[in-house]
Amino acid sequence: MAERSGTLHLVPTWLGDAGGMEQLPAGNLDAIRRIDLWFCENERSARRALRRMDSDLDLTRLELHRFDKDSTRADALALLRGVVDGRDAAIISEAGMPGIADPGALLVAAAHESGIPVVPLIGPVSLMLTLAASGLNGQGFTFHGYLPVKSEERKRAIKRIESDAMRSGTAQLIIETPYRNDVLLNDLCMACAPSTLLCIGIDLTQPGGWARTMSMRQWKSERPPLGKRPAVFIIGSPQR
Amino acid sequence: MAERSGTLHLVPTWLGDAGGMEQLPAGNLDAIRRIDLWFCENERSARRALRRMDSDLDLTRLELHRFDKDSTRADALALLRGVVDGRDAAIISEAGMPGIADPGALLVAAAHESGIPVVPLIGPVSLMLTLAASGLNGQGFTFHGYLPVKSEERKRAIKRIESDAMRSGTAQLIIETPYRNDVLLNDLCMACAPSTLLCIGIDLTQPGGWARTMSMRQWKSERPPLGKRPAVFIIGSPQR
């Protein structure tokens, strides 16, 4: 590791439009105020988030570079050249923690390849907020990301995930694009056994957000409309 | 759900002895100052953490109840009776988030059974800080908790986990009691292929904490002493 290398900070952001710095550790501002080289998925929303963190921040002096799902390892290594040469930098996510269900991981991997120290800052992670709030198994769990979009394939994936949960007793986390939340709940109710547990966490940390764990039987009978809000779904075994 | 039911808050704490409220969202203090019914693994360290969050807190008015790994579902339902009757309560963890790699999950499950709303507060989760800092796959991962203690069994578990990581490309998270960190690193170096990636996150958020991702070949040749500090180990595939 070159002694003069800068450090790559990972800067988490809010899980929605409501809330201010009372939801994030004030200590994160030290890095936010000091760093002028930023990597983000979208420059406009990154600027908005930085301004939301510190309304006095001079955005004109910041250098923002886009790194998104289409970016490559070569892009990452090129972007990090300044950091190797001693400049501190940061990745800011669109929501939650960079690198968790977000393209930032490839940039972090390139930082390790380049011998750049990586410092993650504390902030919200919707997967863990929902898992904690679920009461499901926090000693063993798997995050699957998005399921297949086609209904038949998706139901097969759900059945496979449910059988893993039953066999191992572990919690199985899934996310979905918000406009398909109600369709996913429908498929879960159709594919899973009535006694299987499901936690849905909707818009946690945001006004009107909630998390609830019930059996599929109960979800099927209550079938609350989830709406188009960010959600995490967790399948769990009733046997612990 | 009874209309008069109280709410169960999940209150995360620091990952070590250093740091103050600059590491936690200031908004968490609203619940901390208001709530007087607390569930914890250890009364003494819970009081210490609450005092660390707010030095003005009057600890004498707090009612603390122990809920630990030996507590049962019946204990949980009994403890929650006051909450069902309208009193707000909170679970505070020994480190990080209640319910994640921590016995609080059973109490949260009982809250859902009792129709009590659960509200998780934002704070550090060592598993996610390490995963974000690893650059390994944040779109698909599994947390295994602790591995078997016996060396042969443990190496078999490691090989199984490594082959899952290679087959699926997902990240595989493991924790270990700090005094066995160096033994675990040794077993990982012996059991895994030289090209397999390993991230070790040591004491993240704490002074001298670090996270580093390298191939097993590099870990084997550098073999840094990890010491008896809290650590998260993540096995990943070099192919993404």
Choose among B117, B142, B212: nearest Cβ to A142: B142
Q: Check A240 against B106: CB less than 8 A apart.
A: yes
Give strand pairing partners of A66. A40
Q: Is the pLDDT of residue A71 over 80?
A: yes
Instruction: Report the residue of B68, B113, B129, B170 to disrupt the A interface, i.e. the one with the largest count of A CBs within 10 Å.
Output: B129
Q: What percentage of chain A carries pLDDT values higher than 90?
A: 95
Nearest residue of A to residue B108 by CA position? Answer: A135
Which one, of B204, B230, B173, B13, lies nearest residue B104 by Cα? B13
The single-letter DSSP state of residue B25 is: B
Q: Check A101 against B26: CB less than 8 A apart.
A: no
Q: How far apart are CA A34 and CA A84, in angstroms?
A: 17
| pLDDT bucket at B107, cuts 50 / 70 / 90 | very high
Q: How far apart are CA B82 and CA A224, in angstroms?
A: 28
Q: Is the pLDDT of residue A106 over 50?
A: yes
Which one, of A28, A20, A48, lies nearest residue A205 by Cα? A20
Q: Is A231 left (phi over 0), alpha (psi -120 to 50) or beta?
A: beta
Give chain B positions within 8 Å (CB) of A26: 21-22, 26
Q: Check A135 against B112: CB less than 8 A apart.
A: yes
| Structure confidence by residue, pLDDT tens digits, B108-157 | 999 999 999 999 999 999 999 999 999 999 999 999 999 999 989 999 99
Give strand pairing partners of A211. A201
| Structure confidence by residue, pLDDT tens digits, A133-168 | 999 999 999 999 999 999 899 999 999 999 999 999
Choose among A25, A139, A144: nearest Cβ to B25: A25
Instruction: Report the residue of A21, A53, A139 to disrupt the B interface, i.e. the one with the largest count of B CBs within 10 Å.
Output: A139
Give chain A positions within 8 Å (CB) of B170: 142
Q: What percentage of chain B carries pLDDT values higher than 90?
A: 95
Q: What 3-state DSSP class applies to A192?
A: coil
| pLDDT bucket at A102, cuts 50 / 70 / 90 | confident
Nearest residue of B to residue A214 by CA position? Answer: B112
Give strand pairing partners of A63. A37
Give the H or E element holding residue A219.
helix A216-222
Tokens 């002028």: give the residue: A36
Which one, of B191, B203, B201, lies nearest residue B229 by Cα? B203
Q: Check A99 against B240: CB less than 8 A apart.
A: no
Phi, psi of A205 (to 5 degrees): 75, -5
Q: Check A100 against B205: CB less than 8 A apart.
A: no
Q: Is the pLDDT of residue B3 over 70?
A: no
Q: What 3-state DSSP class applies to B216?
A: helix
Which one, of A187, A194, A178, A154, lies nearest residue A226 by Cα? A178
Choose among A24, A125, A131: nearest Cβ to B99: A131
Tokens 């930098």: give the residue: A89
Give chain A positions within 8 Å (CB) of B19: 27
Note the pLDDT of residue A239. Answer: 74
Choose among B101, B134, B210: nearest Cβ to A139: B101
A134, HSE (Cβ side, Cα atoms, 13 Å): 31
B110 Cβ contact partners less than 8 Å away, ≥ 6 residues apart = A135, B73, B76, B77, B79, B80
Give the H or E element holding residue A120.
strand A118-120
Q: Check A25 against B27: CB less than 8 A apart.
A: no
Q: How far apart are the first and last CA of chain B?
A: 46
Q: Check B135 against A100: CB less than 8 A apart.
A: no
Nearest residue of B to residue A139 by CA position? Answer: B101
| 0.95 surpassed by complex ipTM | yes
Q: How far apart are CA B13 and CA A132, in angstroms?
A: 13
Q: Check A99 against B213: CB less than 8 A apart.
A: no
Choose among A26, A105, A141: nearest Cβ to B137: A105
Give chain A positions within 8 Å (CB) of B137: 105
Give chain A positions within 8 Å (CB) of B145: 139-140
Instruction: Report the residue of A28, A73, A112 to disrupt the B interface, i.e. the one with the largest count of B CBs within 10 Å.
Output: A112
Q: Give the C-alpha distances (Å, rounded to integers) separating B126 from A19, A77, A125, A198, B90.
A: 24, 27, 11, 25, 21
Nearest residue of B to residue A213 by CA position? Answer: B112
Query: Is the Cα dihedral A101, A104, A108, A113 positive or negative?
Result: positive
List of domains in chain B: 8-120 (3.40.1010.10), 126-236 (3.30.950.10)
Contact B235, B188 (CB under 8 A): yes
Contact B45, B95 (CB under 8 A): no
Q: How far apart are CA B33 and CA B18, in angstroms?
A: 22
Nearest residue of A to residue B111 by CA position? Answer: A135
Q: Is the pLDDT of residue A27 over 70?
A: yes
Choose among B120, B122, B143: nearest Cβ to A23: B122
Q: Check B129 against A122: CB less than 8 A apart.
A: yes
3-state DSSP percent of chain B in helix, strand and coil, to 5? 40, 20, 40
Which one, of B37, B225, B209, B119, lies nearest residue A122 by Cα? B209
Q: What 3-state DSSP class applies to A194?
A: coil
Note the pLDDT of residue B2. Answer: 47
Q: What 3-state DSSP class applies to A169?
A: coil
Tokens 């991230």: give the residue: B199
Note the pLDDT of residue A240. Answer: 64
Rounded average pLDDT over B210-224: 96
Q: Is the pLDDT of residue A2 over 60?
A: no
Mean pLDDT over all residues of chain B?
Answer: 96
Q: How far apart are CA B91 and CA B83, in angstroms?
A: 12
Note the pLDDT of residue B125. Answer: 98
Tokens of A61: 């002096």
| Structure confidence by residue, pLDDT tens digits, B164-212 | 999 999 999 999 999 999 999 999 999 999 999 999 999 999 999 999 9
Q: How far apart are the first and last CA of chain A?
A: 46
| pLDDT bucket at B4, cuts 50 / 70 / 90 | confident
Which one, of B88, B114, B228, B136, lies nearest residue A109 by Cα? B136
Q: Give the C-alpha distances (Å, rounded to integers) separating B38 from A19, B74, B79, B150.
A: 26, 17, 10, 37
Give chain A positions within 8 Å (CB) of B199: 112
Q: Check A132 against B120: CB less than 8 A apart.
A: yes
From A61's Cα to the closest Cα of chain B, the distance in A is: 26
pTM over 0.95? The answer is yes
Give the H or E element holding residue B136.
none
Q: For strand A210-215 and strand A231-236, is the pairing parallel, antiparallel, or unpaired?
A: unpaired
CA–CA–CA angle B216, B218, B222 (5° rounding): 120
Nearest residue of A to residue B99 by CA position? Answer: A132
Note the pLDDT of residue A116. Answer: 98
